[in-house]
Amino acid sequence: MTIELPSIDDLDYDTLVAEAKARIPVHNPDWSNYNDADPGITLLQLFAFMTDSLLYRSNLVPERNRRAFLHLLGLRRRAAVPAEGLVAFDATKGPLTTHLVPADTEVRAGNLPFRTARTIDVLPVSALVCAKLPSATELDTASRAAYLSMYEDLDPEADDVQLYDTHRLEVPAGASRYRPVGIAETVDRSLWVALLAPKPALVDAVRDLIGGKVLSLGIVPDVVDATRVLPPASVLRSQPEPRLVVSAPVPGALPADPEPRVPAYRPLDTTERGDVLVEPGVIDVQLPAPDDLVLWPDLEATEEGFGDFPPPLEPAERARLVSWLRLTRARPSAGPGGALGATFSWVGVNTTHVEQVSRVADEPLPDGTGESDQVARLGQRSVLADTVRVRVDGVEWSRVADLRTSPPETAVGAGTTPDRDGVATPGSPYVFTCEPDGTVRFGDGLRGARPPRGARIRADYAGSEGAAGVLPAGGVKTVLGLPAGVQVANPVPTWGGQDAETIEDAEARMSEVVHHRDRLVTRQDFVEIARRTPGVDLARVEVLPLFHPQLVGVESPGVVTVMVVPRFDPAQPDAPRPDQMFLDSVCEHLDARRLVTTELHVVGPVYVDIALAIGFDPGPGRDVPDVRERVQTAVRTLLSPIDRIPGDGVDAWPLSKAVDPLEILTVVARVDGVARVNGVRLSLPDGTALVGALPMTGLELPRLVSLAVQPGDPPTGADVAPPATQLLPVPAIPEEC
């Protein structure tokens, strides 16, 4: 990318001449001829031309000097961080066949390329993901007796029934967020995945096609307010065990005796790509052979959805059913994170991981000049420097961080060309450097070799658009190199992209790097380095040394807790919470920079819900709605967990500070238009009044869920508006369990 440089002075030739002419009447009133033929005007124009030339050359000095200063400090500008995501392929609308999608296949969002991370089989099936959630329907005595009588033959020992609603993990219309479902909240601790054929007549053909193949099952967890723990480096970290079990029905008929007619399932061989309980990932499922990929042939209509049987489907969906997969939680491990639940916002098939990178192969650069310090520019201006490969006359030169440490070109004896085929060996002078903006530099002969005159120079590299790759769900729509019947889409937004660092941003880090040398030692080091985490937008960082999140009030030597708050949270804008991907980005950034003896906890805040009721008298002639709005804004700004308006004098609510109604009363009294504050009532969301201040400890921060402001006395508990809850209506049909 082009570096925007500050100008020492932006005066140009015309401006200099005009200013000089404007000063003539002040210093020499008798000078009245301002024509170009006047000798004095000619001299002014000459001086203006010389000054303009000096300014032009001076304005070029900062770029060279600034780069040199950064190199002297060993500080390199950071390259762009590619955005990541999941894409799901759909092969149900084309010819009935399986498709092999190779690794590095290009998919596009408009003109923005993404590339797949691994090879997958795209099977001609779609997925319908269901969960059995407890129903809110209340049964009277007669209805309950009727249900018991209906299922008496299937389970004579049952004393009661548990109604459930079949909830589907589908994209809600017009919404930007999925309704997450936790395995722990379902009645059978399971998620059900129905594999559907494109048409009812193709069920057997699809079963023959996909039997024995590998199904790529995409998983997007919904983890909020989680904790990431980085133990000391001396602690051995075991390989994570599978977190989910995928099973399929055991083939064959059900037992004839009604009492033991319990469905049996067998676990399938799986490979988890990532920890799917805390980050988006893919589970490769080895499907059974076609003869074993069947359902129970004698399943009766009254048994559908009963007990451990899969939930019922609509008739049109049931006719396309190939088989069921059951997802259950594996036995929790004893290590960190083992107690995490399993809550998911999306599950789908034919899924793989993608990264927003574009690859350029064999790009021609200007031929070698034989001169010192030859510079070439790659075609893209946002380059992943680690991927750049340069060949000079067919020989691959090595990329180095600093040409000044390279040997002279005469060190190998040949002087102008490598004396070996293929790749220049380490320690040779045949090297180059590459900046994130695509600038390739070669040596001067004394420090690194010069490309020979007329040498053909070619480059292979990858580039990324950084933050432009962060797209909403459905942004990826095009796939290249596959049949027209194969479609692709990203079911969830992509994440993590960040633009390459500008030279101004790199300069802003100079004092920090000199101070901490990119190591986490002091409290300020943690704050400064955490705020530089690429790919996240941090609004607040708090560092608590000797503090363990689970041992509040007890000093824990060697433990440091870093509380991070994102700037935006669509699900909870007033009290942002970091999700697991956010925490993972911060952890990855801090892990390489911490001391090996430090146990580091990266967490989000713990919000304490409160309700406020305020009564006031407006000033004479002031509009009540306007004053009420000002009061609400002032109170929300005071209690905000982040500094929403930098420089307004109201900082974010600090940790360990109690919420005191007297402080709130003082803030309200200072609001323009408030003549008198008649009272401030602090209570819990359920209406329980609090006497005095509400203490905050550890990572606790207040979250204002209800704020009632009115003229006169503050509203009582009965008048206070109920706290705002996030109710997600789910259309469902009550079913029996």
Give Cα 663 to chain centroid, integer Å: 37
Residues of the chain with pLDDT under 50: 1-5, 156, 173-176, 234-239, 332-340, 413-416, 718-737
Concatenating the DSSP letter of every residue in 450-510 gives PPPTT--EEEEEEE--GGGG---TT---EESSS-TT-EEE-SS--B--BPPPPHHHHHHTH
Give the angle subtended at the CA of 562 by the CAs of 561 and 566, to the nearest 5°: 150
Calpha distance 674→428 (Å, rounded): 76
pLDDT for the residue numbered 729:
27
Total-model pTM:
0.64
- Other beta carbons within 10 Å of 89: 26
* 216 sits in which H/E element: strand 214-221
Contact 128/168 with Cβ under 8 angstroms? yes
Q: Using the structure block, give the residue that is written with the tokens 């708050």.
A: 565
- Other beta carbons within 10 Å of 132: 25
Q: How many Cα atoms within 13 Å fall on the side-chain side of residue 291? A: 0
195 φ, ψ (degrees, to nearest 5) = -90, 120
**The token pair that represents 18 in the structure block:** 């005009």
Q: What is the CA radius of gyration of the chain?
A: 34
Rounded to a whole number of angstroms, the distance between the first and last alpha carbons of the chain is 61
pLDDT for the residue numbered 415:
47
| Nearest one of 216, 193, 183 to 329, comparing CA atoms | 183
Pairing relationship of beta strands 431-434 and 395-399 according to DSSP bridges: parallel
SS3 content of the chain, % helix, strand, coil (to 5): 20, 30, 50
Give Cα 5 to chain centroid, integer Å: 31
pLDDT for the residue numbered 142:
63
pLDDT for the residue numbered 175:
43
pLDDT for the residue numbered 239:
47
Contact 451/368 with Cβ under 8 angstroms? yes
Calpha distance 27→31 (Å, rounded): 9
pLDDT for the residue numbered 717:
56
H-type helices in 28-112, by residue range?
Answer: 39-72
| Nearest one of 213, 342, 339, 195 to 281, comparing CA atoms | 342
